[in-house]
Amino acid sequence: MAHAPSAAPTRRRILAGGAASALGLPAVAQGTWPNRPIKVIVPFATGGGTDVTMRLLAPKLGEVLGQNVVVENRPGAGSTLGTDFVAKSAPDGYTFALATLSSTGIAATLYPNLPYDPVRDLTAIAPTVFIPTSLAVATRGWNVRTLDAFVAALKARPGAYSYGSSGIGTTGHIASANFLSHVGARAEHVPYRGAGASFTALIAGETQFTHDIPSLLKPFHEAGQAKVLFVNQAERSVLLPDVPTAAEAGLPDYKAYSWYGIFGPAQLPAPIVSRMAGAIEQAMSDPALSARFHEMGTPPMLGWTPERFARYVADEVVAWAPLVRASGARVE
């Protein structure tokens, strides 16, 4: 049975609180965290995969933690603006980021003057979902319906066509640049402020292709406003069963993916890291929420410890460095 806390603080509590205050850390040993709302920064505009993911997760995470989890969008600079905000926030357990592969593994190489180190300046807490990507082409303005025809069109007019993304340095940007490098073609990159604007340009025929999440591209594919040429996963997507995998389409060695994860500032106290990681695992394991993410084609990444996630992020920085360089992508 739970017992109500004593109204009068004991000498031990006073000393513990004083020590924590002297170190500039929250008195988490007393079990007081969290005692106010928690903010999670989404470093992308509203309407994209990160925004949808965090807004689905936030209510259940708040329920587990016993505090409201507030989602705040801070887009800009290919997701590095909002991520940097969190890296420079106080490590008190009230400001986190839903960062991505583009904010960490890709950004480390893409930005020569990145204002934060993804490994040193962030505390990796837990991944949330894995993100397969798909390539979609516009249907307005040209008659390209197969991968072979698409590649042939790109090569026939080098640099004449363009591709959109939700920002410089995002996974969609690097995936498209790597695709062009892989097939030996050229096209111009047009960064937008979020996936929504990128999709609007695609269906209007202002850009000719994009890489993004299958669930977000599905409505345009089904409406005939765009055509998804392949999905980057081992098996066909349940969302787009008529669309081949990259291997089936003739690109067995081409890979493109992302993931989203929760990060805090560096030097976040271990008790907060542990509790937050446990809360994320519990929330993501909720049957209804897990089913929703599976329906979106973004399966939950369960069973990770903070230590394992931190190693994974560090490995991604190393693994993506040559891919970013080979893509020819650069910050303007």
Give the chain's domain count.
2
Is 12 within the bounds of a domain? no
Q: What's 274's domain CATH number?
A: 3.40.190.150
What is the pLDDT, as a whole number, of residue 31?
A: 62
Beta carbons of 264 and 312 less than 8 angstroms apart: no
Q: Which of 228, 249, 270 corresponds to the end of one domain?
A: 249
Instruction: Give phi and psi for 305, each to the nearest 5.
Output: -90, 160
**Is the whole model's pTM more than 0.85, yes or no?**
no
189 and 270 housed in the same domain = no
75 and 152 housed in the same domain = no
Is 26 within the bounds of a domain? no
- Would you mind telling me the total number of residues written for the chain in this entry? 332
What is the pLDDT, as a whole number, of residue 254?
A: 84
260 CB-near residues (< 8 Å, 6+ apart) = 49, 50, 53, 54, 98, 99, 100, 127, 128, 129, 131
142 and 88 housed in the same domain = no
229 and 86 housed in the same domain = no
160 CB-near residues (< 8 Å, 6+ apart) = 187
- Cα-Cα-Cα-Cα dihedral sign, residues 175, 181, 183, 184: positive
Kindly give the residue spans of alpha helices, DSSP state H, lying in the chain: 11-23, 49-65, 80-87, 107-110, 147-156, 171-183, 195-203, 214-223, 246-249, 270-284, 287-295, 306-327
104 and 244 housed in the same domain = no
Kindly give the residue spans of alpha helices, DSSP state H, lying in 89-137: 107-110
| Residue-level pLDDT, tens digit, the chain, 332 residues | 233 333 333 333 333 333 343 334 444 444 689 999 999 999 998 888 899 999 999 999 999 999 999 999 999 887 999 999 999 999 999 999 999 999 999 999 999 999 999 999 999 999 999 999 999 999 998 889 899 999 999 999 999 999 999 888 788 888 999 899 889 999 999 999 888 899 999 999 999 999 998 988 999 999 999 999 999 988 899 899 999 999 999 998 887 899 999 999 999 999 999 999 999 999 999 999 999 999 888 999 999 999 999 999 999 999 999 888 887 777 75
Q: Which of 194, 215, 249 corresponds to the end of one domain?
A: 249
| Residue reference for tokens 């893409």 | 110
Is 163 within the bounds of a domain? yes
234 and 266 housed in the same domain = no
144 and 283 housed in the same domain = no
What is the pLDDT, as a whole number, of residue 332?
A: 59
309 and 169 housed in the same domain = no
Q: What's 156's domain CATH number?
A: 3.40.190.10
Show the domain range for 189: 134-249
Is 5 within the bounds of a domain? no
221 and 264 housed in the same domain = no
Q: Which of 227, 249, 271 corresponds to the end of one domain?
A: 249
Is 3 within the bounds of a domain? no
139 and 242 housed in the same domain = yes
Is 70 within the bounds of a domain? yes
Is 28 within the bounds of a domain? no
**How far lies 21's CA from each of 16, 17, 24, 28, 108, in Å?**
9, 6, 5, 11, 34
138 and 231 housed in the same domain = yes
What is the pLDDT, as a whole number, of residue 2?
A: 34
143 and 86 housed in the same domain = no
Is 8 within the bounds of a domain? no
Within a 13 Å sphere around the CA of 191, how many CA atoms are in the beta-carbon half? 20
Q: What three-state secondary structure class fits 191?
A: strand
